[in-house]
Structure 1
């Protein structure tokens, strides 16, 4: 049995359902789980989606997590806990894949996974970054060397031990707080090769193309097909585009660097908007502090940068 799962709340539920449809199309033999960190009725979900609620996970200190984290922090903090619960429900599972709600499959990824590895990670970059004022090496280091929007494991003593170690750290160390060495669930992935020596980093050009890849990889359209550096496009990640993402929204202008990616994003937006219209969801997520920070965010960051420049000048003179 092979399983793919994602984790979301009402903010990105439409994205998660778009992902589910792409999974059914390109990985038809897989079970798809949707981890829901919200109080939405599961009756709104289609039959090919298996729901799992955060309140079913018995996370130690759950009430404190819900009170301390923002809504965009608590969702990724729950990701390893959902993985552990899914494996507990399905001891027969041979392969478990996490894909962020903003991922969209274009082809099957079965051919990427060699039989000798227990863990597969997605790198944020596969080559030194080209010069850009929007994204640089330091920002990648802040985010972590591996992209938390995509990973696969084969259940074993080592991979389960890694999940348990990771999960207990997200209880109180998954804030978006770069100055204190935290970046939601993501930075802990840096330790995965230590826990699981049989780890493979997926450097396939057509895998997980998103804002992290625009500067270094060339996505082109050939008729109805898409290629990245001459390899078929397998998956896209639209993190940072369309709704607030703590890591990638700062780099949203990069979408204009590649016209094929921009066109695919517009097509994706139409799919997501249709899903949102069908769901008719309103209100705020049930868990985590609500953060209405998307409006005028870039303007506020620009003002803050100018003020910082002024204080630096004053300090010098």
Structure 2
């Protein structure tokens, strides 16, 4: 049996629906598992969804899940559960292989060739890039900032066989993600991705998927121009476009810039982006009740800041003194420590409206200006 899973919260439910529907249209027999780290909407009906199964954190074996979740941002949590879910799905007796696919991906052509790639391989990985850049600005943007900082492989996709090495990889990855799945680029971590830079050293049965039709995204579209054939199918060069990764779609300040940047050169890609936007709208993208994440709030309704999470994560005494981190007592402790700011407990950075990625970029620019000033 071929199993597919994706990890998401309410906010990404429209994307996950779009992914699952696009997959099921081509592979109705593949089983789709939704790994959900949030509270379900009140009107949620699994029978009306394109998912075969919903799995929560406790279903995949995560202990003390609520407190463990507190240590993570939403992106960190949705990536941290991936190892436990993989280990769980590989343990099922009828599993042949498992594919993880990010919810912001759309399947466009058959994925069957991936199954054949397990001949002689246990782990399938897609690199961010298959060809080196030539221009300095692209080397800096795609090779330095995108790949060296965030990992050689894009973990929006990974395929794992239910063989012994595949299960060993799942155990290894899960252990790291349970303890060290954080967005901490200065200290060598970027959620689940940087860990897989070690796969070639530890697991000889890995295989790099070099077909350019898999995992096309804004960071590699310059090397993989998207076209559309007379049959309406999307292609990359002379191969089918298997799936497109819409990373950053909700970061409108960034994605609109990328759309304008590529639209004139790649009109077929613009058509695909328009189709994706329509599919998201049909699947509930504008539903306001999907916007709030369960683990974003203290029990009294105040916002949990990144500083509160890091303090609880890194401080043994805090975890001992406050066994329930969502309580008003821990929030009061955070306020006394100066970890709260802005409205309703927003951090200063959040109050200014910047994302972590934007802040890192601003620091890089500032650092370069300081160097030039010497």
- Higher relative CO (Cα under 8 Å, sequence separation at least 6) belongs to 1
Match of 1:230 in 2: 238
- Of 125, 129, 135, the match for 1:125: 129
Q: How far apart in 2 are the matches of 1:10 and 1:128?
A: 37
Return 127-136 or 116-125, whichever deviates more.
127-136
Q: Deviations over 1:176-212 (max 9, x none)?
A: 1110000001111122233332221111121111123
Change (3 A) 1:158 1:239: same
- Of 71, 77, 81, the match for 1:78: 81
RMSD: 2.7
* Structure 1 gap ranges (5+): none
Greater share of helix: 2
How many matched pairs?
A: 310
1:1-317 matches, within 5 Å, as 1-41=1-41, 43-45=44-46, 46-49=48-51, 50-60=53-63, 62-88=65-91, 90-112=92-114, 113-114=116-117, 115-131=119-135, 133=137, 135-139=141-145, 140-223=147-230, 224-243=232-251, 253-255=257-259, 256-257=261-262, 258-276=266-284, 281-287=289-295, 295=353, 297=355, 304=363, 307-313=366-372, 316=374
Q: How far apart in 2 are the matches of 1:196 and 1:122?
A: 15
Change (3 A) 1:299 1:198: closer
Of the two, which has the highest radius of gyration? 2
Q: How far apart in 2 are the matches of 1:263 and 1:103?
A: 16
Q: How far apart in 1 are the matches of 2:152 and 2:178?
A: 22
Q: How far apart in 1 are the matches of 2:366 and 2:50?
A: 51
Shift of 1:91: 1.6
* Structure 2 gap ranges (5+): 297-303, 307-345
DSSP-derived class of the 2:179 partner = coil
Q: Is residue 127–residue 208 contact of structure 2 (8 Å, CA) maintained in 1?
A: yes
Match of 2:319 in 1: none
TM-score (norm 1): 0.87
DSSP-derived class of the 1:167 partner = helix
